[in-house]
Chains A and B, each alone.
Chain A
Amino acid sequence: METSHPAATLEVRGLAFGYGGEPVQHDVSFDVKPGSIFAIMGASGCGKSTLLRALTGLLRPSAGTVRFGAQDYWSMEDKERETFGRRVGVLFQGGALWSSMTAAENVALPLQMFTRKNKSSIDALVQLKLSLVGLASGWSSMPADLSGGMRQRVGLARALALDPEILFLDEPSAGLDPVAAKRFDDLILELRDGFGVTVVMVSHELASLFGICDDGVFLDAQTHTAIAHGAPKTLRDQSDNPAVHAFMTREQPNGGATQAGADRP
Chain B
Amino acid sequence: MCATGQSRQSSIRTLARCHHFLCSSGLVVSGDSAAPGLSTQDHGGDTLVTLSGDWTVHNDESRPAEPEAWLHRHDLRAILFDSRQLGRWDSSLLVYLAGLRRNAAPRSIRFDDSGIPVAARRLLALLPEHTAAAAPTPRPVFLERLGRAAISTATEWVAVTALLGGQVLEAGAAIFGRARMRRTDLFTCLYDAGIAALPMVALVNVLVGGILAFVGAIELRRFGADIYIANLVGIAQVREMAAVMTAIVMAGRTGGAYAAEIASMQGSNELDALSVLGVPIQDYLILPRVLALTLMTPLLYLYGSCVGILGGFAIAVGMLDISPALFIAQTRDAVTLSQIAFGLTKSLAFGALIAIAGCRIGLKAGRSATDVGHAATSAVVVGIVGVIMVDAVFAVCANALDI
Q: Give every chain A residue within 8 A of B98 (Cβ-Cβ).
A: 128, 131
What per-residue 1/0 map shows which CB atoms of B73-117 lie under 8 Å from chain A? 000000000011011111110110011000000000000000001
Q: Give every chain B residue within 8 A of A125 (Cβ-Cβ).
A: 57, 91-92, 95
Closest CB in chain B relative to A93 CB, distance in Å: 14
Q: Give every chain A residue within 8 A of B128 (Cβ-Cβ).
A: 131, 136
Q: Give every chain B residue within 8 A of A1 (Cβ-Cβ).
A: 83-84, 86-87, 89, 117
Cα distance A214–B297 when bound, in Å? 64
What per-residue 1/0 map shows which CB atoms of B126-152 lie under 8 Å from chain A? 111001001000000000000000000
Q: Give every chain A residue within 8 A of B57 (Cβ-Cβ).
A: 4, 111, 115, 117, 125, 162-163
Closest CB in chain B relative to A196 CB, distance in Å: 7
Cα distance A134–B57 when bound, in Å? 21
B366 contacts A128, C-beta separation under 8 Å: no
Whether A246 sits at the interface, judged by CB under 8 Å, is: no
Within A172-222, which residues are at the interface with B (CB < 8 Å)?
187, 190-191, 193-196
Partner of A128, one of B60, B88, B91: B91
Q: Give every chain A residue within 8 A of B378 (Cβ-Cβ).
A: none
Q: Which of A40-48, A138-146, A255-263 contacts B (4 or more CB under 8 A)?
A: A138-146
Partner of B119, one of A3, A129, A134, A136: A3
- A sample of 11 inter-chain contacts (CB < 8 A) reads A3-B90, A86-B58, A99-B369, A128-B94, A132-B123, A140-B134, A163-B56, A190-B126, A193-B119, A194-B126, A195-B119
Interface residues on chain B, size class:
20 to 34
Whether B261 sits at the interface, judged by CB under 8 Å, is: no
Residue of B nearest to A99 (CB): B368
What per-residue 1/0 map shows which CB atoms of B60-72 lie under 8 Å from chain A? 1000000000000
Whether B371 sits at the interface, judged by CB under 8 Å, is: yes
Cα distance A132–B95 when bound, in Å? 11
Partner of B123, one of A140, A162, A194: A194
B126 contacts A3, C-beta separation under 8 Å: no
Residue of A nearest to B98 (CB): A128
B127 contacts A132, C-beta separation under 8 Å: yes
Known A-B contacts A128-B94, A163-B56; A193 and B122 likewise in contact (beta carbons under 8 Å): yes
Whether A237 sits at the interface, judged by CB under 8 Å, is: no
A4 contacts B368, C-beta separation under 8 Å: no
A128 contacts B95, C-beta separation under 8 Å: yes
Q: Could you list which residues of chain A lie within 8 angstroms of chain B, going by C-beta atoms?
A: 1-5, 86, 99-100, 111, 115-117, 121, 124-125, 127-129, 131-132, 134, 136, 139-140, 142-144, 160, 162-163, 187, 190-191, 193-196
Q: Give every chain A residue within 8 A of B127 (Cβ-Cβ).
A: 128, 131-132
Cα distance A113–B214 when bound, in Å? 54
Whether B120 sits at the interface, judged by CB under 8 Å, is: yes
Whether B370 sits at the interface, judged by CB under 8 Å, is: yes
Cα distance A128–B126 when bound, in Å? 10
Q: Give every chain A residue within 8 A of B366 (Cβ-Cβ).
A: 144
Q: Give every chain A residue within 8 A of B87 (Cβ-Cβ).
A: 1-2
Q: Give every chain B residue within 8 A of A162 (Cβ-Cβ).
A: 57-58
Whether B8 sits at the interface, judged by CB under 8 Å, is: no
Residue of B nearest to A192 (CB): B119
Q: Give every chain A residue within 8 A of B90 (Cβ-Cβ).
A: 3-5, 163, 195
Whether B367 sits at the interface, judged by CB under 8 Å, is: yes
Q: Could you list which residues of chain B lie within 8 angstroms of chain A, going by C-beta atoms?
A: 54, 56-58, 60, 83-84, 86-92, 94-95, 98-99, 117, 119-120, 122-123, 126-128, 131, 134, 366-371
B95 contacts A144, C-beta separation under 8 Å: no
Cα distance A260–B369 when bound, in Å? 37
Cα distance A194–B56 when bound, in Å? 14
Closest CB in chain B relative to A75 CB, distance in Å: 22
Cα distance A124–B88 when bound, in Å? 19
Cα distance A195–B83 when bound, in Å? 16
Closest 7 CB pairs of A and B: A99-B368, A194-B123, A4-B90, A163-B90, A100-B370, A144-B368, A124-B95
Closest CB in chain B relative to A151 CB, distance in Å: 11
Known A-B contacts A115-B58, A163-B57; A131 and B126 likewise in contact (beta carbons under 8 Å): yes
Sample of 6 more A-B contacts, CB < 8 Å, known A99-B370, A116-B60, A128-B98: A99-B371, A132-B127, A142-B368, A144-B366, A163-B57, A194-B122
Q: Give every chain B residue within 8 A of A191 (Cβ-Cβ).
A: 123
Q: Give every chain A residue within 8 A of B91 (Cβ-Cβ).
A: 125, 128-129, 160, 163
B88 contacts A4, C-beta separation under 8 Å: yes
Q: Give every chain B residue within 8 A of A128 (Cβ-Cβ).
A: 91, 94-95, 98, 127
Q: Give every chain A residue within 8 A of B95 (Cβ-Cβ).
A: 121, 124-125, 128
Q: Give every chain B residue within 8 A of A187 (Cβ-Cβ).
A: 126
Residue of B nearest to A124 (CB): B95
Closest CB in chain A relative to B94 CB, distance in Å: 6
Closest CB in chain A relative to B113 CB, distance in Å: 13
Cα distance A6–B83 when bound, in Å? 18
Q: Give every chain B residue within 8 A of A4 (Cβ-Cβ).
A: 54, 56-57, 88-90
Cα distance A82–B54 when bound, in Å? 23
Closest CB in chain B relative to A16 CB, distance in Å: 33
Residue of B nearest to A133 (CB): B126
Q: Give every chain B residue within 8 A of A160 (Cβ-Cβ).
A: 91
Q: Give every chain A residue within 8 A of B370 (Cβ-Cβ).
A: 99-100
Known A-B contacts A128-B98, A194-B119; A3 and B368 likewise in contact (beta carbons under 8 Å): no
Q: Give every chain A residue within 8 A of B60 (Cβ-Cβ).
A: 116
Chain B CB within 10 Å, residue with most, of A5, A131, A139, A187: A131
Closest CB in chain B relative to A92 CB, distance in Å: 14
Cα distance A86–B122 when bound, in Å? 25
B84 contacts A134, C-beta separation under 8 Å: no
Q: Give every chain B residue within 8 A of A129 (Cβ-Cβ).
A: 91
Q: Give every chain B residue within 8 A of A131 (Cβ-Cβ).
A: 98, 126-128, 131
Q: Give every chain A residue within 8 A of B83 (Cβ-Cβ).
A: 1
Closest CB in chain B relative to A110 CB, distance in Å: 10
